[in-house]
């Protein structure tokens, strides 16, 4: 990985070449090389404990070194950081001054600082303007979190941080064998409905595809749009559904093959069957006008009982808190089985750790950044986060037995029923380009009369193109 | 030459030149520099890869799609905008006929002039948001709400591949017309009324007046308008970014170079590749401006 960014030419040859091309006026050169390509590369700043390692300081941070963190201010807010995690960190290290920044545009604020070589220590890389995490790893800017996961938990005695996490969490943030990213929020994905609406109409949760279409028919008869997602900015909600169906039909390896850019991963029969089933739902049970709507608009219609089923993750309830009428009662159902011979049971779920937090490897205080994550992963940190955001964390069972909201309880129950049968994919963060192509392909399939064959071929072509592109670093799991 | 004149001039110029040099020239030069690298934005080190980015660009379908959209915009946006603006400006200034020996505009022309200019006062992002509501595909949209009243189905302005670009172009034109009405009005104001009177005495109709008198005397202004609008056609980023489905969609049906630069930089962290696109856009715009000025060069009528 490192040799990719090893500077091939020293600065003098670089300037000579540039001058030879005749593109750079001489006075501008010194200025330019000061901005890009002019940073110092002190790779010898090896990561070692800067302070004394002790029971209270397992990562050996320098106790009086300041720490700078940047939190994305979106659906989850920033209160969990300011009110829960920073106090927890400062309780152990009162002399380490924490500088807290929040932004709605992570990339705009943080990317230039990486280019300059003076990044903040811990960053919550999220939101629509998140940075390409793969590119960050590729550039050697991300701290290896192995020591964090091996450190003892802050307040769950006798366990390492890794032991306290839901299985699969560490893997979710692993790039080519090394854990670089903490995915902190745990998301359950499925179809959301109003418990009230279902009760009033005596509808039950379908498990087979025949029952599912029967339910959609019943909704249609009541004048409700049975199913829909926002094509303008949220087609990935629907592609998660299609891929979840594919995983149920053909097993979780279907998704693994897609992530690994295997040949024929998209033209697999399971993907084709799933695409065909959902194309039919799109053609028969949705409203083509939704292609032009934003997620907030469709979610509002869902809250107004105008849309029956809405695909989304467990952040939905919190996101809609302001617009949800009293008694709406958010409930989650796993996606019904497409065939009767599905490899995974109907209870199986798309569930994954999401919301990326990482530590800058070339920051001033990488150990402090890791220590901050250790506090987020404490039980108190997890409980505080869930209470403030109605979102589960990757700390296993931290909020068990606590009544927080109907949607959260419903999601938790579905997760319990799924047991070990949860699956997820990673390609959307590894290869942003593939994500974009899949969004367009999903809109075409669902709202613009596309076919399963076309969908599969199109995606296979896009995946093959990425596989061939040597400028994009490849990841496998 | 008086003593101390140069220091005086330099004293005035140094600040704007320094600002221009830092924020415009240096930024351009850096884009040129980056277009020959595979820089991904997260490392102070850059690696030079020659013309690879440009080769890749040449084989990029999305890039050609964007160029196609620019070509459409380049043809239709200036044509329609200038046509409408000329028509309105003529009506506002000359269309009322001659009264008391003076040519005047149609009744209420002063009011219309303000109304036409109004869209120009709105920020582009605001215009985009407003028209996103106008075009909204369900009953809450202005147009589809009306259509719904008459029982006809919704028109998917922004969600239909064949309509989306035209819908966005219509907004661009709506926003631009007002400015050019004012520009052309000013140009027409400087045409001496005697010429109109003389032509009118010879029995010229309004149409003849327009084509034989107004148009030739406005040529310089028209030329400027064409260049401005052409450059605007190479932009269109703000509207497409805010209004279009799935950013540049559906399925790339509305994407423009500005958006692709933004996407490659922002989403894919391909700063080098994005810079290469920027360089291409720079030359396209420059070529267009130079070409237009050259092709449309005519003898200017001295008044």
DSSP A119: -
Q: How far is B45 from chain A (nearest CA, A)?
A: 5
d(CA B203, CA B33): 63
Q: Given this model, what pLDDT does residue B152 score?
A: 79
Q: How long a stretch of residues is chain B?
A: 303
Residues of A in contact with B135 (CB under 8 A): 292
d(CA B241, CA B249): 10
Residues of A in contact with B158 (CB under 8 A): 232, 292
> Among partner residues B26, B138, B246, which is closest to A32 by beta-carbon distance?
B26
Query: Which A-chain residues 341-360 have CB contacts (< 8 A) with chain B?
Result: none
The number of CA neighbours under 13 Å toward the Cβ of B204 is: 20
Q: How far is B27 from chain A (nearest CA, A)?
A: 9
What token pair was written down for A292? 């032009």
d(CA B57, CA B65): 12
Residues B159, A289: C-beta atoms closer than 8 Å: yes
SS3 assignment, position B60: coil
- In angstroms, how far is the first alpha carbon of chain A from the final one? 17
> Among partner residues B158, B159, B252, which is closest to A440 by beta-carbon distance?
B252
Which residue from B minimizes the CA distance to A38? Answer: B44
Mutate to test the interface with A, among B31, B32, B40, B144 (most CBs of A within 10 A): B40
- Smallest Cα–Cα separation from A459: which of A276, A266, A311? A266
Report CA A135 to chain centroid distance, whole Å.
Answer: 16
Q: What is the DSSP string of B105-131?
A: -STTHHHHHHHHHHHHHS-HHHHHHHH
Residue pair B204/B112 in contact by the 8 Å Cβ criterion: no
Alpha-helical segments (H) within A142-268:
146-150, 169-172, 195-200, 209-221, 235-250, 253-259
Residues of B in contact with A116 (CB under 8 A): 44
Residues A114, B38: C-beta atoms closer than 8 Å: no
For chain A, list residues with pLDDT below 70. Answer: 1-47
Residues of B in contact with A230 (CB under 8 A): none
* SS3 assignment for B255-288: CCHHHHHHHHHHCCCCHHHHHHHHHHHHHHHHHH
Residues B249, A25: C-beta atoms closer than 8 Å: no
Residues A293, B29: C-beta atoms closer than 8 Å: no
Q: Does B251 touch chain A (CB under 8 A)?
A: yes
DSSP A185: E
Residue pair A143/A358 in contact by the 8 Å Cβ criterion: yes
> Among partner residues A18, A135, A288, which is closest to B156 by beta-carbon distance?
A288
Hey, how many other C-beta atoms are within 10 angstroms of the C-beta on B48? 20
Q: Which residues pair with A67 in a beta bridge?
A: A98
Report all structural domains of chain B as residue ranges with CATH numbers, in order of start.
60-295 (1.10.3720.10)
Residue pair A238/A350 in contact by the 8 Å Cβ criterion: no
- Smallest Cα–Cα separation from B72: which of B165, B2, B141? B165
B7, B18, B65 from B4: Cα distances, Å: 6, 21, 57
What token pair was written down for B146? 């009306």
d(CA A342, CA A195): 27
Which residue from B minimizes the CA distance to A236? Answer: B246
Which residue from A minimizes the CA distance to B60? Answer: A465
Residues of B in contact with A6 (CB under 8 A): 45
d(CA A360, CA A352): 23
Residues B268, A292: C-beta atoms closer than 8 Å: no
Mutate to test the interface with B, among A6, A36, A106, A292 (most CBs of B within 10 A): A292
Q: Does B27 touch chain A (CB under 8 A)?
A: no
What token pair was written down for A137? 């790893």
DSSP A152: B
> Among partner residues A39, A132, A432, which is closest to B44 by beta-carbon distance?
A39
Q: Given this model, what pLDDT does residue A55 score?
A: 82
Residues of B in contact with A290 (CB under 8 A): 137
Helix (H) / strand (E) containing B104: strand B102-104
- Smallest Cα–Cα separation from A266: which of A449, A434, A431? A434
Q: Does B250 touch chain A (CB under 8 A)?
A: yes
Alpha-helical segments (H) within A22-127:
26-35, 79, 86-92, 106-116
Q: Given this model, what pLDDT does residue A74 score?
A: 80
This prediction has a pTM of 0.81
A261, A351, A427, B223, B268 from A266: Cα distances, Å: 9, 21, 13, 53, 22
- The structure tokens 């200038």 sit at B82
Helix (H) / strand (E) containing B6: helix B5-20
Residues of A in contact with B47 (CB under 8 A): 4-5, 7-8
Q: How many CB pairs under 8 A join A and B?
A: 145
- Pairing outcome for strands A122-125 and A307-313: unpaired
Which residue from B minimizes the CA distance to A40? Answer: B44
Hey, how many other C-beta atoms are within 10 angstroms of the C-beta on B2? 6
Q: Given this model, what pLDDT does residue B302 score?
A: 55
What token pair was written down for B56? 């890749």
d(CA A415, CA B295): 69
Residues of B in contact with A37 (CB under 8 A): 37, 44-46
Contact residues for B241 (Cβ-Cβ < 8 A; gap 6+): B128, B247, B258, B259, B262
Residues of A in contact with B33 (CB under 8 A): 18, 23-24, 32, 36
- Pairing outcome for strands A349-359 and A182-194: antiparallel
Which residue from A minimizes the CA distance to B156? Answer: A289
Phi-psi region of A397 (alpha: psi -120 to 50; beta: other; left: phi over 0): left
The interface predicted TM-score (ipTM) is: 0.79
Residues A40, B46: C-beta atoms closer than 8 Å: no
Q: Given this model, what pLDDT does residue B301 score?
A: 57
- Tens-of-pLDDT digits for all 303 residues of chain B? 556 788 888 888 888 999 999 999 999 999 999 999 888 888 777 888 888 889 988 988 889 999 999 999 999 999 999 999 998 888 888 766 666 556 677 777 778 888 888 888 888 889 999 998 899 888 888 888 888 888 777 888 888 888 999 999 999 999 999 899 989 988 888 888 788 788 888 887 878 888 888 888 888 888 889 889 998 999 889 899 888 888 887 888 999 999 999 988 888 888 899 999 999 999 999 998 888 888 877 665 555
Going along A21-96, which residue ranges are E strands? Answer: 67-72
Q: How long a stretch of residues is chain A?
A: 477
Q: Given this model, what pLDDT does residue B52 score?
A: 87
Sign of the four-CA dihedral A94, A99, A101, A106: negative
């Amino acid at each position: 990985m490192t040799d990719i960014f090893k500077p091939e030419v020293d600065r003098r040859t670089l300037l000579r070449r540039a001058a030879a091309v005749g593109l750079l006026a001489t006075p501008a050169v010194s200025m330019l090389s000061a901005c890009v390509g002019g940073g110092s590369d002190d790779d010898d700043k090896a990561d070692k404990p800067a302070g004394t390692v002790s029971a209270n300081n397992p990562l050996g941070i320098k106790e009086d070194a300041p720490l700078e963190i940047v939190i994305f201010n979106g659906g989850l807010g920033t209160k969990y950081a300011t009110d829960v995690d920073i106090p927890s960190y400062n309780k152990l290290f009162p002399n380490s001054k924490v500088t807290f920044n929040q932004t709605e545009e992570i990339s705009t604020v943080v990317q230039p600082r990486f280019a300059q070589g003076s990044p903040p220590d811990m960053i919550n890389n999220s939101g629509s303007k998140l940075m390409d995490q793969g590119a960050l790893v590729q550039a050697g800017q991300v701290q290896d979190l192995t020591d964090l996961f091996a450190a003892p938990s802050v307040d769950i005695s006798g366990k390492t941080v890794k032991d306290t996490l839901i299985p699969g969490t560490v893997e979710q943030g692993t790039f080519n064998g090394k854990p670089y990213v903490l995915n902190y929020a745990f998301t359950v994905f499925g179809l959301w409905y109003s418990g009230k609406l279902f009760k009033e109409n005596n509808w039950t949760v379908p498990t087979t595809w025949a029952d599912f279409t029967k339910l959609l028919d019943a909704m249609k008869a009541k004048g409700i749009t049975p199913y829909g997602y926002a094509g303008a900015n949220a087609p990935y909600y629907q592609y998660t559904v299609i891929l979840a169906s594919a995983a149920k039909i053909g097993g979780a390896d279907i998704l693994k093959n897609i992530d690994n850019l295997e040949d024929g991963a998209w033209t697999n029969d399971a993907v084709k069957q799933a695409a065909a089933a959902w194309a039919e739902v799109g053609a028969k049970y949705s409203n083509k006008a939704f292609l032009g709507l934003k997620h907030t608009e469709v979610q509002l219609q869902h809250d107004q009982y105008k849309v029956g089923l809405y695909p989304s993750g467990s952040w939905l309830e919190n996101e809609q808190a302001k617009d949800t009428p009293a008694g709406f009662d958010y409930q989650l159902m796993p996606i019904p089985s497409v065939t009767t011979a599905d490899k995974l049971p109907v209870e199986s779920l798309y569930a994954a750790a999401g919301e990326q937090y990482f530590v800058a490897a070339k920051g001033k205080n990488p150990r402090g950044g890791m220590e901050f994550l250790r506090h987020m992963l404490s039980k108190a940190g997890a409980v505080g986060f869930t209470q403030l955001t109605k979102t589960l964390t990757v700390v296993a069972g931290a909020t068990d037995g606590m009544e927080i909201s109907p949607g959260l309880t419903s999601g938790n129950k579905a997760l319990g029923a799924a047991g070990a049968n949860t699956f997820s994919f990673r390609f959307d963060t590894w290869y942003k380009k593939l994500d974009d192509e899949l969004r367009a392909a999903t809109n075409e399939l669902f709202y613009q009369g596309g076919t399963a064959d076309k969908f599969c071929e199109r995606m296979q072509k896009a995946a093959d193109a990425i596989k061939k592109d040597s400028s994009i670093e490849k990841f496998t799991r | 030459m008086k003593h101390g004149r140069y220091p005086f001039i330099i004293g005035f110029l140094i600040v704007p030149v320094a600002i221009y040099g830092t924020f415009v020239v240096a930024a351009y030069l850096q884009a040129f520099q980056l277009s020959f690298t595979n820089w991904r934005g997260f490392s102070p080190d850059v690696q030079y890869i020659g013309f690879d980015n440009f080769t890749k660009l040449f084989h990029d379908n999305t890039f050609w799609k964007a160029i196609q959209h620019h070509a459409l915009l380049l043809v239709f946006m200036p044509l329609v905008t200038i046509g409408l603006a000329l028509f309105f400006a003529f009506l506002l200034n000359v269309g009322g006929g001659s009264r008391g020996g003076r040519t005047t505009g149609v009744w209420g022309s002063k009011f219309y002039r303000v109304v036409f200019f109004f869209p120009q006062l709105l920020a582009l992002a605001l215009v985009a948001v407003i028209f996103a509501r106008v075009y909204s595909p369900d009953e809450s949209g202005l147009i589809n709400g009306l259509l719904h009243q008459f029982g006809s189905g919704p028109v998917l302005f922004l969600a239909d591949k064949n309509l989306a670009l035209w819908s966005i172009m219509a907004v661009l034109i709506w926003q631009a017309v007002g400015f050019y009405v004012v520009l052309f009005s000013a140009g027409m104001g400087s045409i001496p009324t005697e010429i109109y009177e003389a032509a009118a005495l010879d029995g010229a109709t309004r149409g003849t007046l327009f084509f034989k008198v107004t148009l030739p005397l406005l040529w310089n202004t028209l030329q400027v308008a064409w260049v401005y609008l052409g450059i605007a056609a190479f932009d269109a980023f703000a509207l497409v970014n805010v209004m279009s489905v799935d950013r540049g969609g559906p399925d790339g049906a509305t994407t423009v170079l500005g958006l692709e630069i933004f996407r490659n930089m922002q989403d894919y962290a391909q700063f080098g590749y994005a810079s290469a696109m920027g360089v291409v856009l720079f030359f396209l715009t420059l070529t267009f401006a130079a070409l237009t000025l050259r092709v449309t060069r005519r003898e200017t009528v001295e008044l």
